[in-house]
């Protein structure tokens, strides 16, 4: 029987970031925004920020920014960056946060690809910008964000001064009507597995994603929290946390350029009574070591969101031992980035908790997930055994890239191909096995480089380990471990010791062909293991060579 369609009688309210701006103005006036700067702590409130956001929108208009124009930022996590987070999208333009850890040629590519029109730059980052001058013709105006006295470096184009420009504008701005499908912000993928590609968020996707982040069973940020995002504001919009903080009214504490310094993070967290931290595993590996050495603790912190790469068991346990509870999350730039969160379901047996917290968790409400067979494309069961590519769809999942790159990322039936390989348990816990490009293909079977890494990192003498597959004459590829000994064990750990350690932890045929010791695992611009670099510099497997010679 056909059901007659009847329209609901609710308002067509456009979902936009202007709503978040409205909330910080009306409800969260007194909430603090704190930034660590070179000269000390900078303290402001949303109440003081809102007139500045209005002035900033006036500046943007004054320098000719039109709806849809891309406005780039090259900035640390700080209060001015947050002002840009509001002013740019709310006046109709597109906030393009540049990854300040990229090589100049990547930045040049990205700025040209996005055709950024204006660039806001922190004074301390001018040296990064210098090699790009003359190569980024779309940028018509540079705005310098100085601490202390503004002074552009030699050989740089003329720059407007942020504070002088703001002072000349009005405290109120006639915000335009925004349609929810308009672009609000843009982020490039960090290029771990290929060229960076521009992901373009809409007001609607950002709004719904913000509500998702706030949901209790997701990241669960609340008004009572004091948030310290170590994750950079250029890394998938700091995982959506700045807008979530504005929507909820949480206090925000920015580390400025001190995000890689564990001591600074700990001091800042103690002084500002931080309750909520977010960052990639490498950050917490450093922080946990510092806490252990110094004896300092962070008793007020209730959640440490950790994503971007899998959380090694050793890290989760060390953090537990210093009283910090990691909340493991999975996502990618293309998923805004929240995809799944490892909250353990009510009624779970205590002995299963750690294992489940180490999975990538269950898919976020609003997002649908499936795993598919890489060759047939068939959907695979959620039996905790079968593994295939994760595909997702939902209101904050990308449907394409800026300039139309990679049109095949979307399946014919509209799901986004993530390039991550996973199995899913009957209860819905996702276990990422690898990236399609990192999984090791040995004798027609797959070895998960991630699982092997975690097993090696559980060795007490090892602090970090990355595993790659190298060509092998007989098996196609075989795993090779690159391990970093803890400083006190440098030169005192052997290949045999690691192999012995792994014997009862992984299948026999997963045992690495070689263990190579290095001082540091090369990292990408967002702190992930850079396996491209390891592969490019790797010498062939010894056994593989012999096999080849025998052929």
Catalytic residue (choose from 441, 461, 499, 532):
441
Residue 309 lies near ligand ADP (rule: CB under 6 A): yes
Which residues are CB-neighbours of 519 under 8 A, at least 6 positions away?
A: 484
Residue 91 or 327 with smaller CB distance to ligand ADP: 327
Catalytic residue (choose from 14, 348, 446, 461):
446
Residue 192 or 206 with smaller CB distance to ligand ADP: 192
509 catalytic, yes or no?
Answer: no
Which residues are CB-neighbours of 439 under 8 A, at least 6 positions away?
A: 421, 433, 446, 447, 448, 449, 469
From the list 14-22, 123-131, 322-330, 499-507, the region that binds ligand ADP by CB under 6 A is 322-330
From the list 26-34, 135-143, 262-270, 324-332, the region that binds ligand ADP by CB under 6 A is 324-332
Residue 22, Cβ density class (10 Å: 0-12 exposed, 13-18 middle, ≥19 buried): middle
* Location of structure tokens 């590829």: 477
Residue 35 or 431 with smaller CB distance to ligand ADP: 431
In the complex, what is the shortest distance from the CB of residue 417 to ligand ADP, in angstroms, rounded to a whole number?
10
Long-range residue pairs from 260-267, CB within 8 A, at least 24 positions apart, any chain: 260/286, 262/286, 262/287, 262/289, 262/290, 262/291, 263/290, 263/294, 264/36, 265/228, 265/230, 266/290, 266/291, 266/294, 266/296, 266/298
In the complex, what is the shortest distance from the CB of residue 406 to ligand ADP, in angstroms, rounded to a whole number?
12
Residue 333 lies near ligand ADP (rule: CB under 6 A): yes
Residue 180 or 420 with smaller CB distance to ligand ADP: 420
List Cα–Cα distances, 28 to 31, 424, 450, in angstroms: 5, 40, 42
Residue 229 or 307 with smaller CB distance to ligand ADP: 307
| Assigned token pair, 461 | 């003498």
39 catalytic, yes or no?
Answer: no
Helix-helix angle 281-294:262-271, to 10 degrees: 80
Strand order in the sheet with 368-372: 368-372, 387-393, 416-424, 430-435
In the complex, what is the shortest distance from the CB of residue 124 to ligand ADP, in angstroms, rounded to a whole number?
24
List Cα–Cα distances, 493 to 482, 484, 487, 503, in angstroms: 13, 10, 11, 16
| Assigned token pair, 284 | 């917490």
As a whole number of Å, the CA-based R_g of the chain is 24
Residue 526 lies near ligand ADP (rule: CB under 6 A): yes
Catalytic residue (choose from 35, 73, 97, 189):
189
The single-letter DSSP state of residue 538 is P
Catalytic residue (choose from 25, 180, 334, 453):
334
175 catalytic, yes or no?
Answer: no
Residue 316 lies near ligand ADP (rule: CB under 6 A): no
* Location of structure tokens 């310290």: 228
In the complex, what is the shortest distance from the CB of residue 189 to ligand ADP, in angstroms, rounded to a whole number?
4
- For residues 219 and 313, what is the distance between their CA atoms, to the nearest angstrom? 20
Residue 360 lies near ligand ADP (rule: CB under 6 A): yes
Helix (H) or strand (E) holding 262: helix 262-271
If you count them, how many residues does the chain have? Answer: 551
In the complex, what is the shortest distance from the CB of residue 143 to ligand ADP, in angstroms, rounded to a whole number?
27
User: Which residue in 49, 208, 332, 463 binds ligand ADP (CB under 6 A)?
Assistant: 332
Residue 432 lies near ligand ADP (rule: CB under 6 A): yes
Interface with ligand ADP in residues 225-264 (CB under 6 A): 236
Residue 275 or 309 with smaller CB distance to ligand ADP: 309
Residue 55 or 528 with smaller CB distance to ligand ADP: 528
Interface with ligand ADP in residues 168-207 (CB under 6 A): 189-192
User: Which residue in 69, 116, 420, 451 binds ligand ADP (CB under 6 A)?
Assistant: 420
Closest CA to 182 of 161, 166, 165, 200: 200
Residue 184 or 316 with smaller CB distance to ligand ADP: 316
189 catalytic, yes or no?
Answer: yes
Residue 418 lies near ligand ADP (rule: CB under 6 A): yes
In the complex, what is the shortest distance from the CB of residue 452 to ligand ADP, in angstroms, rounded to a whole number?
14
From the list 104-112, 122-130, 306-314, 343-351, the region that binds ligand ADP by CB under 6 A is 306-314
User: Which residue in 23, 42, 302, 435 binds ligand ADP (CB under 6 A)?
Assistant: 435
Residue 195 or 321 with smaller CB distance to ligand ADP: 195
Residue 78 or 309 with smaller CB distance to ligand ADP: 309
Residue 326, Cβ density class (10 Å: 0-12 exposed, 13-18 middle, ≥19 buried): buried
| Assigned token pair, 364 | 């976020």
In the complex, what is the shortest distance from the CB of residue 325 to ligand ADP, in angstroms, rounded to a whole number?
16
- For residues 494 and 484, what is the distance between their CA atoms, to the nearest angstrom? 12
Residue 310 lies near ligand ADP (rule: CB under 6 A): yes
In the complex, what is the shortest distance from the CB of residue 342 to ligand ADP, in angstroms, rounded to a whole number?
8
Beta-bridged to residue 43, according to DSSP, are: 34
Strand order in the sheet with 251-254: 40-45, 32-37, 251-254, 226-229, 276-279, 303-306, 326-331, 338-341, 362-363
Q: Count residues near ligand ADP (CB under 6 A).
A: 22
- For residues 111 and 103, what is the distance between their CA atoms, to the nearest angstrom? 12
- For residues 203 and 18, what is the distance between their CA atoms, to the nearest angstrom? 9
Residue 330 lies near ligand ADP (rule: CB under 6 A): yes
In the complex, what is the shortest distance from the CB of residue 263 to ligand ADP, in angstroms, rounded to a whole number?
26
User: Which residue in 58, 246, 307, 388 binds ligand ADP (CB under 6 A)?
Assistant: 307
What is the number of other CB atoms lying within 10 angstroms of the CB of residue 227?
26
In the complex, what is the shortest distance from the CB of residue 285 to ligand ADP, in angstroms, rounded to a whole number?
14
CB of 73 closer than 8 Å to CB of 98: yes
| Assigned token pair, 196 | 């960076």
Q: Which residues are catalytic?
A: 189, 334, 441, 446
Residues at the interface with ligand ADP (CB under 6 A): 189-192, 236, 307-310, 328-333, 360, 418, 420, 432, 435, 526, 528
């Amino acid at each position: 029987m056909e059901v007659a369609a009847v329209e609901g009688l609710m308002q067509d309210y456009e979902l936009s970031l202007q709503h978040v701006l409205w909330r910080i103005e009306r409800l969260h006036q007194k909430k603090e925004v704190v930034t660590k700067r070179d000269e000390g702590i900078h303290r402001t409130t949303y109440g003081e920020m809102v007139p500045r956001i209005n002035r900033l929108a006036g500046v943007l208009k004054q320098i000719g920014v039109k709806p849809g124009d891309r406005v780039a930022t090259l900035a640390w996590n700080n209060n001015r960056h947050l002002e840009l987070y509001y002013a740019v999208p709310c006046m109709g333009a597109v906030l393009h946060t540049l990854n300040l850890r990229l090589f100049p040629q990547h930045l040049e590519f990205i700025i040209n690809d996005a055709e950024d029109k204006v660039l806001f730059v922190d004074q301390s980052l001018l040296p990064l910008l210098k090699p790009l001058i003359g190569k980024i013709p779309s940028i018509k105006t540079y705005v310098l964000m100085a601490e202390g006295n503004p002074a552009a470096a030699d050989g740089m184009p003329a720059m407007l001064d942020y504070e002088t420009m703001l002072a000349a504008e009005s405290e109120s701005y006639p915000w335009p009507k925004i349609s929810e499908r308009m672009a609000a912000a843009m982020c490039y993928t960090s290029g771990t597995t290929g060229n960076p590609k521009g992901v373009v968020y809409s007001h609607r996707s950002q709004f719904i994603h913000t509500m998702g982040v706030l949901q209790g069973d997701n990241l669960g940020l609340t008004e009572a929290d004091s948030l310290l995002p170590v994750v950079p504001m250029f890394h998938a919009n700091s995982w959506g946390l700045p807008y979530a903080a504005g929507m909820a009214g949480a206090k925000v504490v920015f580390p400025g350029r001190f995000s890689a310094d564990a001591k600074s993070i700990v001091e800042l967290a103690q002084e500002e009574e931080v309750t909520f931290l977010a960052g990639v595993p490498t950050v917490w590996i450093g922080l946990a070591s510092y806490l252990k050495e110094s004896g300092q603790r962070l008793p007020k912190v209730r959640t440490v969101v950790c994503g971007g790469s899998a959380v090694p068991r050793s890290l989760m346990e060390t953090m537990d031992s210093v009283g910090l509870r990691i909340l493991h999350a999975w996502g990618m730039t293309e998923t805004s980035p929240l995809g799944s969160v490892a909250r353990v379901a009510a009624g779970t047996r205590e002995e299963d908790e750690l294992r489940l917290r180490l999975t990538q968790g269950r898919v976020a409400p609003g997002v649908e997930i499936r795993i598919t067979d890489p060759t047939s494309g068939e959907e695979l069961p959620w039996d905790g055994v079968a593994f295939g590519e994760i595909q997702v769809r939902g209101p904050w999942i990308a449907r394409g890239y800026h300039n139309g790159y990679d049109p095949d990322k979307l399946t014919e039936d509209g799901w986004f191909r993530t390039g991550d390989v996973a199995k899913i348990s009957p209860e819905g816990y996702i276990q990422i096995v690898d990236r399609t490009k990192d999984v090791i293909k040995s004798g027609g079977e797959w070895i998960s480089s991630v699982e092997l890494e975690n097993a090696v990192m559980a060795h007490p003498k090892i602090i970090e380990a990355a595993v790659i597959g190298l060509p092998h004459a007989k098996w196609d590829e075989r795993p090779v471990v690159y391990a970093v000994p803890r400083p006190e064990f440098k030169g005192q750990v052997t290949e045999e010791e690691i192999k012995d350690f792994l014997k009862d932890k992984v299948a026999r045929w997963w045992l690495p062909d070689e263990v190579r010791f290095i001082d540091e695992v090369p990292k990408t611009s967002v702190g992930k293991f850079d396996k491209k670099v390891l592969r490019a510099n790797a010498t062939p497997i010894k056994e593989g060579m012999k096999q080849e010679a025998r052929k």
